[in-house]
């Protein structure tokens, strides 16, 4: 996971998972990306045995530091936040080596590499609004010209960072495209703007392909087009609609087959906009609103369906 010393436990889904694992009396080993390494053809890590407490001033304690082979662990949860860069990919290689030695990795390293959180929605064309992935200025300008408003965003970000709402008559359009594509050297995504964003960008959590019964609608601040909580959005609990359920039925089985056990779908109005596989969030918010325990739901699935008996 990312450094535990810097998390906000009120909102951190990895912390919810730690609490749930501890409740089962599992021994928990904490690792950051910098702790992983390969030595003598084995995946290893510097690690600390850790305990956690739902206490905003003192939420973790290290008990023992040691170096282990990753395959000695029963299950490893990969919860590093984007950016999804080469360092992230190298990390998946180390985890995949551990997997070849018998470790269970959630989410699966190959699945993390295969399922780009922005691009993969294109495998489900009936679920999405008009979308273009390109680095070509002319392609992007033509697509934008065919829609009143569009959303432009990079393929490797999170939390609403560098997401722009624009249109064909935006005087800053060319510079937005140049900036996002790094002068036409990187792919970006353009999506038709979905006005229902005013009702919230819904985060739907899937556990082994099946949805949690409630979603968190992240409602943008006044004057904003981004609902991300990191961009100032406000979370509101909502029940899944029939369309939400249908989208989950289309997407969930494919993700589960790829070993993507914990996934966050982003749905605006009737459309799937992103598939979050690296470190999906909103557990703590939904738990607080509905008095549920999504972390324990996940650990139960790992215990009953994923771990060998």
Point out the residues that are catalytic: 118, 153, 203, 218, 226, 266, 274, 276
For residue 98, how many other CB atoms are within 10 A of its CB?
25
SS3 assignment for 77-113:
ECCCCCCCCHHHHHHHHHHHHHHHCCCEEECCHHHHH
For residues 62 and 52, give the distance between their C-alpha atoms in angstroms, rounded to a whole number: 9
For residues 230 and 227, give the distance between their C-alpha atoms in angstroms, rounded to a whole number: 8
Name residue 258's beta-bridge partners: none
Asked if residue 45 lies in contact with residue 72, where contact means CB atoms within 8 angstroms, the answer is no
Q: Residue 151 has which token pair? A: 């959303």
Asked if residue 170 lies in contact with residue 147, where contact means CB atoms within 8 angstroms, the answer is no
């Amino acid at each position: 996971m990312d450094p535990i010393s810097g998390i906000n436990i009120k909102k951190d889904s990895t912390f919810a998972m730690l609490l749930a694992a501890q409740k089962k009396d599992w021994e928990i080993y904490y690792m950051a990306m910098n702790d992983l390494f390969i030595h003598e053809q084995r995946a290893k890590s510097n690690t600390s045995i850790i305990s956690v407490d739902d206490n905003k001033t003192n939420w973790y304690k290290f008990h023992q530091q040691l170096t282990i082979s990753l395959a000695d662990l029963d299950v490893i949860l990969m919860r590093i936040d984007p950016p999804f860069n080469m360092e992230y990919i190298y990390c998946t290689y180390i985890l995949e080596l551990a997997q070849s030695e018998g470790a269970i990795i959630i989410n699966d390293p190959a699945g993390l590499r295969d399922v780009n959180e922005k691009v993969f929605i294109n495998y489900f064309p009936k679920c999405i609004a008009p979308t273009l992935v390109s680095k070509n200025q002319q392609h992007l300008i033509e697509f934008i010209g065919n829609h009143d408003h569009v959303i432009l965003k990079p393929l490797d970000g999170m939390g609403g960072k560098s997401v722009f709402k624009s249109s064909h008559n935006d005087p800053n359009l060319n510079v937005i495209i140049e900036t996002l594509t790094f002068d036409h050297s990187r792919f970006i995504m353009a999506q038709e703007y979905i006005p229902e964003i005013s009702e919230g960008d819904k985060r739907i959590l899937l556990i082994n392909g099946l949805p949690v019964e409630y979603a968190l609608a992240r409602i943008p601040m006044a004057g904003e087009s981004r609902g991300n909580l990191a961009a100032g959005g406000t979370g509101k609990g909502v029940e899944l609609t029939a369309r939400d359920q249908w989208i989950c039925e289309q997407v969930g089985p494919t993700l589960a087959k790829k070993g993507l056990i914990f996934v966050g779908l982003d749905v605006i109005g009737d459309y799937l906009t992103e598939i979050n596989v690296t470190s999906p969030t909103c557990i703590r918010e939904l738990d607080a609103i509905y008095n549920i325990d999504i972390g324990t739901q996940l650990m139960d699935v790992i215990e009953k369906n994923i771990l060998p008996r």
